[in-house]
Amino acid sequence: MVANKVSAGTGSDVRTFVSAALLTYVVGVLTLNGVILLDTGGAFLGLIVALFTVLGWRKHHGKKIFPRDIPVRSVILLAVVDIALTVLAVVLFHAT
């Protein structure tokens, strides 16, 4: 059997998958918040904010968007940010 030199284990793989899904979701929600706030121009602004969010994530994890072993704390923090941005989108949508 050939050893897998990329994976740090099943738990690491699950955290990487969840992080990828949450980062994709946060880009969409940031874009949605921009559209709700500023119409079409807000979509562009939301994408710029999303780009800097992903770059900040990359800087925090040692120049890799998906490092070999993502800390559980980072995944939980990303999930909390996603929930907060989703609630903000719902509130903004109902306020307009």
Is residue 8 domain-resident? no
Range of the domain at 78: 16-95
Is residue 23 domain-resident? yes
Residue type, 81: V
Is residue 10 domain-resident? no
Is residue 4 domain-resident? no
pTM comes to 0.85
Instruction: State the total domains in the chain.
Output: 1
Is residue 34 domain-resident? yes
Residue 10: predicted pLDDT: 85
Tens of pLDDT along 45-88? 999 999 999 999 999 999 988 888 899 999 999 999 999 999 99
